[in-house]
Amino acid sequence: MIVLTSCNNNKETINTAENQTKKDSVVSEEELWIVPDTSTIPHDEFGEMVRYGRDLIVNTSFYIGPEGKVGKYLGNKMNCTNCHQDAGTKPYAFNFYSTHARYPQYRARENKILSLSDRVNNCIERPHNGKHLPLNSKEMIAMISYIKWLGEKVPVNGRVKGDGPVKLDFPDRAADPLKGELVYKRECLSCHGANGEGKMRLDNVCYEYPPLWGDKSYQSGSSVHRLIKMAPFVYANMPYKIATYENPRLTIEEAYDVVAFINNDTIHKRPQPATKNDYASLQHKPIDYDKGPYLDSFSEIQHKYGPYKEIVDYYKKIGKKANY
């Protein structure tokens, strides 16, 4: 294990691929993590950065979008909060509860250890199809300050209830994009549009309903392009303001099917990543990544759509853990 001093002079341990899962500790099994109230943001220099950071997560496109007020970094007009809902504070919605506590961290996609700022830049590059923010920019420091403030009470390398995906059993069958199209028309189209284009806000700054495919949407190299990442998010959070993790609107199969439809690259085009070197280390490659090679002999199509249980069982049999 490597120990280093981070920019804020706290000692942090680096999560390597090997110690990452072992070291994760569950703080509370019973209750959802309680997010600190914004009224507790301090009234000092740090607090000001925290407030600006929160504003950037919510109004990302206004500040750093294609026509951004302080810089042009994003390639589309999505806001971080479109995915990291309620400014990264909503349970089971890609929140930032334990994020600061878990970085720096080994990342399989790049096959190296990334700082939290590098990880933010990943999202600027992939889902936002943009170019990296300078690490020492006020905007980067503000976003990191906000994420730090949000998770300040989480112990280093800790995990808290509600911070990951809602736990769903894998469907027994492969996800079906054709069935997913019917779910889409029934439950999603009214907001996200017949062509997945979403709906721009009247002031043209960002979206009322963000896009799900097309050239203004996330890249195919984003985490949300992977079925096992995206389906639990949709299950617990969509349709927006109708579904909750406690009262989902879709069945698990419907959530998998509709994401299979959205992320079907044959019918839906989206920006492509600049690099072809993702997941160079095959033993760390997620099983729902849709491009081979893999350590196993399941087809690309099974990796993209499932069924996943067979793949997970195979890895168990050879004494390895399937990544996803």
Nearest to 324 by CA among 302, 296, 303, 297: 303
| Residue 194 or 318 having the CB closest to ligand HEC | 194
CA pair distance 16, 57, nearest whole angstrom: 28
Among 19-27, 232-240, 285-293, 306-314, which window interacts with ligand HEC (CB under 6 A)?
A: 232-240
Under rule CB under 6 A, residue 196 binds ligand HEC: no
Out of 35, 238, 311, 322, point to the residue binding ligand HEC (CB under 6 A).
Answer: 238
DSSP 143: H
Out of 125, 176, 187, 257, point to the residue binding ligand HEC (CB under 6 A).
Answer: 187
How many other CB atoms are found less than 10 A from the CB of residue 1? 9
CA pair distance 230, 238, nearest whole angstrom: 11
Under rule CB under 6 A, residue 123 binds ligand HEC: yes
| Residue 65 or 306 having the CB closest to ligand HEC | 65
Query: What 3-state class would DSSP assign to 106?
Result: strand
Out of 35, 49, 224, 260, point to the residue binding ligand HEC (CB under 6 A).
Answer: 224
Out of 132, 179, 229, 268, point to the residue binding ligand HEC (CB under 6 A).
Answer: 229
Structure tokens at 183: 């779910």
Beta strand pairing call for 25-26 and 199-200: unpaired
CA pair distance 273, 221, nearest whole angstrom: 5
Computed over its alpha carbons, how large is the radius of gyration of the chain? 19
Under rule CB under 6 A, residue 119 binds ligand HEC: yes
Structure tokens at 58: 């919510």
Under rule CB under 6 A, residue 138 binds ligand HEC: no
CA pair distance 65, 49, nearest whole angstrom: 19
Residue 25 CB, nearest approach to ligand HEC (Å): 15
Structure tokens at 47: 């607090």
Out of 83, 108, 154, 175, point to the residue binding ligand HEC (CB under 6 A).
Answer: 83
| Residue 73 or 294 having the CB closest to ligand HEC | 73
Interface residues toward ligand HEC, by CB under 6 A: 57, 60, 78, 80-85, 94, 99, 116, 119-120, 123-124, 127-128, 143, 187-188, 190-192, 209-212, 218, 222-224, 229, 234, 238-240, 250, 258
